[in-house]
Homo-oligomer: A and B are copies of this chain.
């Protein structure tokens, strides 16, 4: 077989260089984790923006299974990149501020050494001879590129899906080289279901008679098998909602795609089109090597194993998932977050509400929330928040407040009770008012838990760590006695499972602080007793009986009687009359409208 034969085949399956890609060839042979070596490894990469003098503004972007180094266009006449939405001048990953690097992965088919590269030892493409690789091999090659570019610490490593696997690998293998990790729609290992889809995709390729054991570069190659694998992939990238919204109305009206695949249904013509396009631009051997590297990627099946795996990481983390992603479901991101949280690592997590499935991270629909999240997180890596906290902001825009007073006067009393240096978990942290005060006081580590996306964004803008979660789901993520203080301010009256949550707080915190409105307050009693109406008040109790988030109706006395038989120790009780802005010491169940309890086991 002459070299000319396969040189003349389709230019994509052989390594056609991308227009703006540069190349680095490693002098040393590359030793692989599963055995074997590759000589003369070439890395195709693109860069955007300028490396600053301190060499501390570099952001490495890692691509997903079918991506390449062309993450964004370099100028207006350039071809579109795969993440133009997020990368460019003034965008979330701002190339006016950051020096962005993106390289094609080892084993890829767009410039970096892979199965379609000429093997220098045989003069033919590697094909079947290309060894099995791991996420560690892929990231090891990237590390050499970063060395070559003279970058010590990356400001951020960013990636979604398989790109997220690379991010996790970077943060745990080279902790000293990573200031922050942004892991999007990814996991510590695939679900069995995702693994099963990969197995079927590979079987479709491997059993295609045109696969020829991987040595097909002088002929057509396994076009049917690769197209089937890609079709299958496309189902998993979309959600069932997004498939319905795209293909339900015209289900029997296929597009006129030139294809030998079935084209009776619109979804069929879509899949056929995606399959055909993919065969033109991608290589089946690469598909097999990279999907297997994903399938073998494994930072642990259990919380303990994941804690061990993430223990080496030192960076700040941003973990992002999408509610409708079933290929990398949010629970898997939460597993990563739980491991990091219980290791006291700095981590922010958001589960973005999106109907778009796994693909969401590449789509415009979700960029409003998602883009600002990336941008604010990147801006605050240094620790100095770009947006300081203004106490005047701190009225009851989205938070609960005291019952008569529009300002959170309970915050001052809570902050007084927490010594500088204490670690604090704030449940229902809102926009970070209490956490900002505690940071100023010198407390840390500080972690917030919040359900509202906009409130979380505000926290991230202020450089606070916040976990997107519902306190009603409990605190299983946190370790026993992980925090000096756990705070639940003005939220207990809105909690579904009070016993469960208070029990969890007492497990997780050495001390807990709970504040709540006292329905025993004389004015509230009188409303029921004399007017025969459910009590209301201007602040926290401004709701009607039928639309109030306050679903628990109780008094200071009730709370004390709740604690006593459970052996919950009441260390301190602060009773407030928020209308008069003063503390109450006598007849508190009648004269205080708000109570703060410091409790412990």
Contacts and interface: CB of A to CB of B under 8 A. Distances in A.
Nearest to A553: B553
Contact of A554 (B246, B265, B545): B545
Contacts of A16: none
Interface string A190-205: 0111011101101110
Contact of A589 (B231, B295, B532): B532
Contacts of A196: 231, 235, 243, 267-268, 271
What is the total number of copies of this protein in its complex? 2
A552 interface: yes
A268 B199 contact: yes
A199 B271 contact: yes
A244 B335 CA distance: 15
Given A228-B228, A261-B203, A552 B557 contact: no
Contact of A326 (B240, B533, B590): B240
B554 A329 contact: no
A528 interface: yes
A251 interface: yes
A231 B551 CA distance: 49
A326 B235 CA distance: 13
A6 interface: no
Contacts of A28: none
A128 interface: no
Contacts of A589: 532
A206 interface: yes
B558 A199 contact: no
B240 A193 contact: yes
Contact of A195 (B204, B267, B562): B267
Contact of A557 (B209, B261, B498, B533): B533
Most B C-beta atoms less than 10 A away, residue of A200, A329, A545, A562: A200
A195 B264 CA distance: 11
Nearest to A502: B546
A545 B224 CA distance: 64
A529 B530 CA distance: 9
B192 A243 contact: yes
B528 A192 contact: no
Interface string A208-227: 01000000000000001000
Contacts of A547: 498-499
A265 B203 contact: no
Contacts of A191: 240, 243-244
A525 interface: yes
Interface string A513-556: 00000011000011011011110000000001111000111111
Contact of A520 (B228, B528, B544): B528
Contacts of A292: 264
A352 interface: no
A265 B195 contact: yes
A483 to B, nearest CB: 23
Contacts of A207: 224, 228, 260-261
B552 A546 contact: yes
Contacts of A553: 534, 545, 553
A232 interface: yes
Contacts of A272: 203
A235 to B, nearest CB: 5
A206 B528 contact: no
Nearest to A194: B240
A306 B498 CA distance: 44
A301 interface: yes
25 contacts: A191-B243, A192-B247, A193-B243, A195-B268, A196-B243, A197-B235, A200-B231, A200-B271, A203-B262, A203-B272, A207-B224, A232-B232, A249-B301, A499-B547, A520-B532, A525-B528, A525-B532, A532-B555, A532-B590, A533-B557, A534-B553, A534-B554, A534-B555, A545-B554, A546-B552
Given A248-B301, A534-B558, 20 more contacts: A192-B243, A192-B248, A193-B243, A195-B265, A196-B267, A196-B268, A199-B265, A199-B268, A200-B231, A203-B231, A206-B261, A207-B224, A207-B260, A209-B209, A520-B532, A528-B555, A545-B552, A545-B558, A545-B562, A546-B562
The 9 closest A-B pairs by CB, nearest first: A551-B551, A498-B546, A529-B529, A545-B554, A520-B532, A192-B243, A532-B589, A199-B268, A192-B247
